[in-house]
Amino acid sequence: MAVDLLLGLQWGDEGKGKIVDVLTKNYDIIARFQGGPNAGHTLVFDGNKYVLHTIPSGIFHKTALNVVGNGVVIDPVIFKKELETLDQHNIHYADKLLISRKAHLILPTHRLLDAASETSKGKAKIGSTLKGIGPTYMDKTGRNGMRVGDLEMDDWKEKYRALTEKHIKMLNFFDVQIDYDLKELEAEFSRGIEKLKTLQFIDSEEFLNNAIKEGKSILAEGAQGSLLDIDFGTYPFVTSSNTTAAGACTGLGVAPNRIKEVFGIFKAYTTRVGSGPFPTELFDEVGETMGRIGNEFGATTGRKRRCGWLDLVALKYACQVNGVTQLMMMKGDVLSGFDTLKVCTAYKYKGEIISHLPYNIEPENIEPIYTEIKGWQADLTSMTDKKDMPENLLKYIDFIEKETEIPITVVSVGPDRKQTIHR
C-alpha cells in the first residue's frame, strides 16, 4: 500500500492533530516525520482535550501503530510528560508506540543554546518555542548529534558528556546571561531517558518499508506548516526542518513514489505565532475577534497567535511545493457572523501586481489585494452534513477550490472529532 501525507499549509496550528485523529481509523500506522516538542497538536473527543507534542496523533485509537520517525527530534523530558498524561488517562501505548533509532535527542544544553541564541538576537528574535529545536538540528547536520539508537550503546554517557561540554563552551560565546542549574536539568534528563528506554526502538525506515510491502496503510503526520519550512518558509523566521512533503521522505525513509494522497490542512483564515512577515495580518477589531472566537493561543507556549485573512497567494504556493491532492479547511465556524470576508488573491509588490510568493514578503514590500466575499451568519458548530451548509460558506469553499484547483474534501466546524464534515 501507499503512504498518505498530512501537513499544514500555513504557519502551523492549522488543526493537523485533530484531522490525524479523525483519519486514524483508516490507517494501520501513523508516522510523525519531523519537528519535535515545538509542535502542539490538539485533539478533542468524549469531552476531553489532549495536546500532543512529539507523539503521533493516532495514539488514542486501539489498533493503529504510532511511529516517531527519524526526522523527529525528541526531548526525553517532555516526552516523559506526554507519556505520563497518557498513563493518567489509561491510554495504553507500550505495544503501539515505536521510536526510530535514528531520531535525534534534544539535550538540556540544546535548550539553553536556543535561549541564548534568541536572547542575543534581541528585536530580531525568531520567536522560537525555546524547545531546543534549532540547536538540535544544527548538531544533526553538523554531524555531532546524539540519536535514540546511541542509548543502546555502552558509551552513550561519554558521548553525552562530550557534547554537553562543547555546548557549555558555546554558551560562553554568547554575550548574554543564561541562568541554569545543569545538575538539576541532567537529573530530569536522566529520568526522561529511563522512561524513553522502556519503549521499543526500531529501524523505522526498514519497518515502514516492510509494512508497505505487506499492504499496510500509513499516514505520515507533519508538524508546523509549509511557511515555516527551512527551505521554503519565510526564512529566517522558520523552524529548522523541512515541514513540506519532501520532509516526509527524508523523515521516514519512504521514497517519493510511495506517496499517494497529500492532505493539505489550512485554516479558513490565517494565524501565525512568533515573529516574521505575515502579509494579511489584521491589527484591528476584526483580527481580535478572530483570535477570541478561534481561541488563538499556542498549544505549546500559550502565546497569543497573530490573526489575519486567508492568503491564497501563500496557500497556492504551499499547495505547489507539497503537491497537495486534497484540501481540508479548518475552523470555518470561526468566520460565522462576519458580514464580509476578505481573501487575498494577489500582492502589490514594488508597484506591480503579482500572484506568486516573492523572495521578500516583508510588510514594506507587500500590500495584499483582496477579493471580498459575503459572509454567513449561521453557527456551523452543530452542523453534521454538507447539505446544511449556508450558501455563502459554499461560495467561500467554491472560490478557494477554483483558485487552488484542488478539492476541499473536509470542512471542520469545531475542535471536536465529531465536528468534521466530509464532502
Binding site for Mg ion (CB under 5 A): 13, 40, 299
Q: Which of residues 122-141 bind ligand IMO (CB under 6 A)?
A: 126-129, 131, 133-134
Strands 270-272 and 306-308 come out as: antiparallel
Pick one of ligand GDP, ligand IMO, Mg ion, none as the site partner of residue 311 (Cβ within 5 to 8 A by kind). none
User: Judged by CB under 6 A, which of 4, 14, 82, 221 binds ligand GDP?
Assistant: 14
Cell 489532549 -> residue: 50
299 binding ligand GDP? (CB under 6 A): yes
Q: Distance of CA 127 to CAs 98, 164, 170, 223, 327, Å?
A: 31, 24, 21, 17, 28
* Catalytic residue selected from 13, 229, 311, 333: 13
Q: Which is nearer to Mg ion, 85 or 119 (CB)?
A: 85
Largest CA distance in the chain: 65
CA distance 58 to 80: 18
Pick one of ligand GDP, Mg ion, ligand IMO, none as the site partner of residue 415 (Cβ within 5 to 8 A by kind). ligand GDP
82 binding ligand GDP? (CB under 6 A): no
Q: Which is nearer to ligand IMO, 224 or 280 (CB)?
A: 224
Q: Is the peptide bond before 236 cis (omega within 30 degrees of 0)?
A: yes
Closest CA to 66 of 191, 252, 326, 192: 252
Cell 512533503 -> residue: 245
Beta strands in 273-339 (DSSP E): 306-308, 310-311, 326-330
Query: In the annotation, is 13 catalytic?
Result: yes
Q: Which is nearer to ligand IMO, 12 or 414 (CB)?
A: 12
Residue nearest to ligand IMO (CB): 274
Q: Which is nearer to ligand GDP, 12 or 145 (CB)?
A: 12
400 binding ligand GDP? (CB under 6 A): no
**Three-state secondary structure call for residue 369:** strand
* Catalytic residue selected from 41, 53, 110, 167: 41
* Residue 253 exposure: Cα atoms within 13 Å on the Cβ side: 20
Q: Which is nearer to ligand GDP, 14 or 139 (CB)?
A: 14
Q: Which is nearer to ligand IMO, 19 or 126 (CB)?
A: 126
User: Judged by CB under 6 A, which of 331, 345, 404, 410 binds ligand GDP?
Assistant: 331
Q: Which of residues 38-77 bind ligand IMO (CB under 6 A)?
A: 38-41
| Sign of the dihedral through C-alpha 233, 280, 132, 249 | negative
228 binding ligand IMO? (CB under 6 A): yes
- Determine the interface stretch with ligand GDP among 80-88, 91-99, 241-249, 331-339 (rule: CB under 6 A): 331-339
Kindly state the DSSP code that residue 222 receives in the 8-state scheme: P
221 binding ligand GDP? (CB under 6 A): no
Instruction: Round the CA-based radius of gyration of the chain to a whole number and report it.
Output: 21
Phi, psi of 386, rounded to the nearest 5 degrees: -65, -25
Q: Which helix (H) or strand (E) holds 421?
A: strand 420-422
Per-residue b/e over 72-87, b at no fewer than 16 CB within 10 Å? bbbbbbbbbebbeebe
CA distance 241 to 230: 5
Closest CA to 262 of 39, 71, 8: 8
Q: Which of residues 290-329 bind ligand IMO (CB under 6 A)?
A: 299
Q: Which is nearer to ligand IMO, 164 or 241 (CB)?
A: 241
24 binding ligand IMO? (CB under 6 A): no
Q: Which of residues 240-279 bind ligand IMO (CB under 6 A)?
A: 273-274
Compute how many residues bind ligand IMO; rule: CB under 6 A: 25
76 binding ligand GDP? (CB under 6 A): no
Instruction: Note the residues at the interface with ligand IMO (CB under 6 A).
Output: 8, 11-13, 35, 38-41, 126-129, 131, 133-134, 223-225, 228, 237, 239, 273-274, 299
Instruction: Note the residues at the interface with ligand GDP (CB under 6 A).
Output: 8, 12-18, 39-42, 44, 294, 299, 330-331, 333-334, 412-415
Which residues are known to be catalytic? Answer: 13, 41
